[in-house]
Amino acid sequence: MKPQRIRILSLTKKDFQLEFFRAGGKGGQKQNKTSSACRIRHPASGAVAECREERSQVQNKRIAFVRLVESRKFQAWLKLESARRMGLLEQIEKEVIRQMGPGNIRVEGKDKAGRWVEIKHGGD
């Protein structure tokens, strides 16, 4: 028996901003007169994607949406937002703080001879 899925996050059209514009280029006069290119923004994540390759606005919108959802920026936001909604974000933040303790961080810089050396706490 499959485990039951729980919906954590739901996105709607309201979560995205769509912009249509004239693409120019291949496609001749029709593409120069028609606003078939599409740019989609997801303000919460800052992700933006666009498509202008196809003559059809619908096809460009689909391709742009897929590009946005597959972008690194959107994927990172999705993971953080999912963790936050599941109550795991605090645990993750605590673990990051623990791992970034002074014993786990090494700071390096170049000395006068151009060699990489460890910089001791306090700038010694």
Domain, as residue range, for 33: 13-118
Percent of the chain as helix, strand, coil, to the nearest 5: 40, 20, 40
DSSP element (H, E) containing 67: helix 57-70
Model confidence, pTM: 0.65
- pLDDT score of 123: 44
Query: Could you tell me if residue 123 is inside a domain?
Result: no
Helices H, strands E: what count in the chain? 4, 5
Looking up residue 44, the CATH number of its domain turns out to be 3.30.160.20
The domain total for the chain is: 1
Q: What is the pLDDT of residues 71-108, one digit of tens each?
A: 999 999 998 898 888 888 788 888 888 887 777 778 88
Q: Cβ neighbours of residue 83 under 8 Å, at least 6 residues apart?
A: 89, 92
Q: Is residue 5 part of a domain?
A: no
